[in-house]
Amino acid sequence: MEIITEYGTILMVMAIVFGLYMTWGIGANDVANAMGTSVGSGAITVKQAIIIAAIFEFAGAFIAGGHVTATIRKGIIDPTSIVNNPEILVFGMLASLLAAGIWLMVASNRGWPVSTTHSIVGAIVGFTVAGIGMDAVQWGKIGQIVASWVVSPVLGGTIAFVLMMSIRGLILNTENPFVSAKRWGPIYVFLVGFIISLVTLFKGLTHLDIDLSVGMSFVVATLFGVLLAVIGWFMINRVQVDTSADREFHFASVEKVFTPMMVFTACAMAFAHGSNDVANGIGPLAAVVSIIQSGGEVAQKASLPNWILVLGGVGIVIGLATMGYRVMKTIGTRITELTPTRGFCATLAAAATVVLASRTGMPVSTTHIAVGAVIGVGLARGVGAIDLRVIGGIVLSWLITLPVGAVLSAIFFFTLKGMFT
């Protein structure tokens, strides 16, 4: 308790700096989940992606990022044994933020799309084992994360593969692909509206006081899907055949039909991402602020003042603007060649997988889903269409995220403990 009283201001400043650094890492690495396919397919430029993400990620973080968060994310440790030593938790959260932030910086610099959730979970496990003991870790939760390494990409990839094959059968392989695209386009627009509505209702608005039942959510999503399909029908009918572009690429005019859908899905995914994953950075920060302001009380929940939400949103936007292009390049161009139809299938598959996981409680990672979905659309053209060497590097980065975060966090924990005690 004395340490909290004596060094409270210094610890608070460190928490703000480390929290901003961690959210910067989220923006640099994780936002590519929503934007990588749009940029890689040529639907939008990197500059446009940054503007879209800046608006919708910040809006998601600030409007629907929640006003209360669990002090220890994902329930992975049992804090009861350190109730009388709150400084242990403060040191641990500071160490975790710094460790996860550094790992995200390294991964982003190399273009590796890693899970920000796994980064912070690994870091928290590291300080827990080092500072409290092995028994304080809920190892069952860690087992769920390991399972998600397989479940997430397989599920996202399978749905993307099915979507891609449907577009190929219904549109690309028909006698007149452009006419077929206009005929089936509104159906795919309906799917966009339906799935994205469910993502927003199930994930993006869970922190707001909007409590819809599952049935009501499906009704709202259906109505929004129909509305969007009608708007899409008008927009699609305005698209004209571009004969000069078709001479260079046979399906150029067909691809133009799918471009507006990509932009819409990117906006909605950015909003949902901002509302959910910002907590990976500001949750530990809120825990430290709560302990210091209460004079050392370790609570299960901590409030999220507006300034913390703003800090999280700002950090994400700066991270995306400064280094986000590296991971976007990996997802959008290095795994396989994307076009608007392929990017559309990957993004819609990722959104559908998030909905499925959120309603069934499956342990999934949005990063792994996005990568799996891109691999899925690549596999629709055969194994030769995907770069196995790039995929190997990505999988390796997933495997080492947890242990690297844990080791770094343990080192920083002992360093902080030595500095203040």
Task: For 132-167, give the DSSP string.
Answer: T-GGGB-HHHHHHHHHHHHHHHHHHHHHHHHHHHHH
CA–CA separation, 156 vs 164, rounded Å? 12
pLDDT band at 150; cut points 50, 70, 90:
confident
Greater model confidence, 247 or 78: 78
| 135, pLDDT greater than 90 | no
Rounded to an integer, the average pLDDT of 162-168 is 92
User: What does the pLDDT read at residue 117?
Assistant: 85
pLDDT tens-place string over residues 253-264: 788 888 877 777
User: What does the pLDDT read at residue 411?
Assistant: 96
Provide the greatest CA pair distance for the chain: 78
* Cβ-contact 268, 354 below 8 angstroms: no
Of 90-99, 110-119, 209-218, least confident by mean pLDDT is 209-218
* Cβ-contact 363, 194 below 8 angstroms: no
Instruction: Find where tokens 């190399």 sit.
Output: 110
Phi, psi angles (nearest 5°) of residue 301: -125, 150
User: What does the pLDDT read at residue 13?
Assistant: 93
State whether residue 303 is helix, strand or coil.
strand
pTM of this structure: 0.86
Rounded to an integer, the average pLDDT of 140-155 is 82
User: What does the pLDDT read at residue 51?
Assistant: 86
Rounded to an integer, the average pLDDT of 318-345 is 88
User: What does the pLDDT read at residue 332?
Assistant: 85
CA–CA separation, 80 vs 298, rounded Å? 9
pLDDT band at 280; cut points 50, 70, 90:
confident
Alpha helices in 111-138 (DSSP H): 116-131
Percent of the chain with pLDDT over 70: 91
CA–CA separation, 122 vs 75, rounded Å? 13
Beta pairing partners, 313: none
